[in-house]
Each structure stands twice: as structure tokens, then as C-alpha cells.
Structure 1
Amino acid sequence: MRGAPLLRALQVSDTAFPTGAFSHSMGLEAFYEAGELAGAEDLDRLARLHLSSLATSDCVALRAAYAADLEELFRVDALLSATKLTRELRAASSSTGRRFLASVVALGVEDGTLLALTRAARAGETPGNAAVGYGAAAPALGMGADEAVLAYLYASAASLVAAGQKLIPLGGGAAQRILFGLAEALLKASEESAGLEADDMYAFAPAVDVRSMLHERQRTRLYIS
């Protein structure tokens, strides 16, 4: 039915979709602790930093996972985990990915490969990264690869902005202006990912990695990552 893929993309990228992403700041809390997240400008800058890293890692994995067989999904999943240098970032990606897969299956989506990946991730046979889950689920939801990448990027950006909004704190209008202003960065990240293969994946955001490692040792924490 015309318009159905758009509705599916909107649903799975909504912050209300049960993935547990609301429990993660992806290092933002450590930036806040260090005094580097004090207002809207800082949040915008850090969100863009995250997105630039996703363009060459998660988004590439999502495209490689799109319509792939189970063996290739496992390979891409392992490669993506290898680009995540800190324990918290790896755990966050796997945790939200497993929840995403389970939530899609719970909708009644029937796809053999998707079901097999969901079971394997639950059993710990593969990391179950969120981006790989999106790539595996997208064909079953009627989404194209480009639409799935943008949905994933938007969900990631919305989650980051929501975390930053609580930490600063920031009003709803200001948070939405940041999201609105990130549109070009989302499109650029999607386009950049289209030129890379799974074996080319990399992530370069040393500031995020350092803050993620420091976050593990913070005495007080609102977020898991």
C-alpha cells in the first residue's frame, strides 16, 4: 500500500519505539561532567560529531545488512562491533539492537532471516548491533536502504538530543530546533555511507571514545552509557 513504508519508518524511528535508547547518552553525560556540554551550541556540536562517526560505521553496516543472508549479517555485525572501541558503546549498540529486533518481531513481522537474527542475538551468538537490526528489518518493513539509513540516523540524533536536553537542561523548543538543524548533517551522513563497503567501515571520534571510557568510572550517573 502506498505510504506504508513511510509509516513503518516513522514508527521504528520514534523515540517511543521500545529499544531502551532513552537509557543511553553515548558519552554525552561524561561531556557534561567535564563542563563541555553547557548549552544548545554544545549539544549541536556533539550531535554532529556522533553523526559523522555513524556515517562511516553504523550506516555502512546497515546498508551491508540490507537484504543480506544470515551468514553475511553475522559477518557485518562482528565488523561493526570491532569499530566500537569502548565497552559502553559496544554494549549500548547491542542492547538497543536486541530490543529493536525483538520489538519488530513482536509487531508480527514475518521474515525468516529477521527471526533467525533475532534468535541469534538473544542467544549471544552475534552482537545484534542496532544498525544491523535496522538493515535486516528494513526489507520486511517495506523500506528501501536509503530510507532505513535516514530512519536510523534520525532515531540516533533524536536520542542524543533527548539525552542532552535532560542533562543541560534544555527546553523542548530549543531541542527541536537542534534536531531541525541537523537535517543536512543526516543527509550528508547517509550519502557518505553509500560510498563504502562493509570491509571499509571505520569510526573516528576519539573525543567520544575517551569520554565513553571516563563515563564508566563516574561516581554518579544518570545514563548507562
Structure 2
Amino acid sequence: MTTDPALLLHQWLSPSFPVGAFSYSHGLETAVAEGQVRDAVTAQEWIVTALDHGAGLSDAILLAAAWRAETAELPELVALARALAPSAERLAEADRMGAALATALRSLHGHDLPDAPYPVVLGRAARLSDIPLPLTLRLSIQAFAANLVSAAIRLVPLGQTEGQGITLALAPRIEELAEEALPGETDRIGTAAFALDIASMRHETLTTRLFQS
């Protein structure tokens, strides 16, 4: 029996899938602790910055490149993905989530997947499962944003409805970013999210931490 691609991708991106996404805040925990993020408005601004100028778009481009790549091209993408991590914790986040995804999908589907940063593994796995790239991009960017919203709900804290309002408000931008990333042109990767990057560096020195990044 053939599994519907959308259902398969929803399973992989579900919070219950064993990649540990829920344990990473992407530096948001630092921003809350230092008062930069304190309500729904500032949380949404932080997440929009992550999408537009941080890992949101750059990871989407990496995913598209991995989906389109031949096997021999993957090591170069892996090296680029690791080089783009702005801090030790963010590198660990990408590597650990990617290795966990690869382990699970090798077991479930028998895919030949490297232990690599998360967007590279997800893009390659989607290609091997014949999941269309546009669908993969839209749902993966939404999952990235939703994970940050979930972290904000716990950290700020925000109400569940407030959090869902942020996710809904981001929907049009998620569609635009998926279109921008679709060609998978790694030369177009460029980030300018300095506050987010510094927050991820400062996270490891927080006295109290709920998240790994």
C-alpha cells in the first residue's frame, strides 16, 4: 500500500516524531530571559526574523538543494550546512536532529541517509520517498515556525490561542519563503540575524535552562 506523501511528511514533522525538536529554542530562551521577547508581538517579531533572515530561509534552501542533489554532491552540502551554524549549540541542534531523523527513517523506510544536519537529511529523505519538493518546503518551514511558537508558549509564557494566532499570521510568509527556496540555489544563502545568533551563543551560560539551544 502506497502512503500518501502529505500524510508521510506530516508524520515526519509531527512533534511526536523522535527527533527532539521540542527541546530546542533556537536562542529564544535567551531572548525571553533578557527581556527582548516578552509578549505575543515581540515573539512574532523574533520568529519572523528567524524565518526571513536566519535559519528559516537558509535551511529551506539547503533542503531544496539536498532534494535536487545527486549522491556525490551531498558531502559538500553537509559541510555547508554545518558551516552556517552560528554557535556550538546551534550546530549541535542541526546535527542531533538530523542524526535522529536519519536513524528513524533508515529503520522505518530503509532509506540510505547520512548522519547530517537536519535540512539535508529531510530534503534527501523526501526525494527518496517521492514527496514533492514544494510540499516538503511549505510544511518544513511551517514546522520550524511552529516549534518556535511552541517554545514561546512555554517561555514567555503565551496562551495557546495567542500562539496559534502567531502561526496563522505567518502562513502567507511561509508560502513566500517556500517559493524563494524552491530552486535550491545555495549561492543565495545569506543570513543577517545578529541578535538571534548572539542569543544562541549566550544561551549556554544561562543559569536556568529548559532547552538545549
Residue 145 of structure 1 corresponds to 133
Structure 1 position 132, deviation (Å): 0.3
Structure 1 position 195, deviation (Å): 4.8
Structure 1 position 199, deviation (Å): 3.7
Residue 4 of structure 1 corresponds to 4
Deviations 1:72-107 (A, max 9, x none): 111111112212221111111111111111122222
Name the amino acid aligned to 2:83: A
Residue 192 of structure 1 corresponds to 180
Asked if structure 2 preserves the Cα contact closer than 8 Å seen for 1:25 and 1:224, the reply is yes
Residue 178 of structure 1 corresponds to 166
- 2:84 and 2:111 mapped to 1: Cα distance? 28
User: How many pairs were matched up?
Assistant: 212
Name the amino acid aligned to 1:28: L
Residue 33 of structure 1 corresponds to 33
Residue 107 of structure 2 corresponds to 106
Deviations 1:116-159 (A, max 9, x none): x1xxx2xxxxxx11100111100233311111111211111111
Q: Structure 2 matches for 1:194-209, cutoff 5 A?
A: 194-195=182-183, 197-209=185-197
The question of 1:133 aligning with 2:135 is answered: no
Structure 1 alignment gaps of length 5 or more = 122-127
- 2:41 and 2:145 mapped to 1: Cα distance? 15
Asked if structure 2 preserves the Cα contact closer than 8 Å seen for 1:62 and 1:131, the reply is yes
Name the amino acid aligned to 1:171: G
| Distance of aligned partners of 1:196 and 1:111 in 2 relative to their CA distance in 1, 3 Å threshold | closer
Asked if structure 2 preserves the Cα contact closer than 8 Å seen for 1:15 and 1:158, the reply is no
Q: TM-score, normalization: structure 2? A: 0.92
Structure 1 position 54, deviation (Å): 3.0
Structure 2 alignment gaps of length 5 or more = none
Residue 60 of structure 1 corresponds to 61
- 1:181 and 1:3 mapped to 2: Cα distance? 31
Name the amino acid aligned to 1:75: E
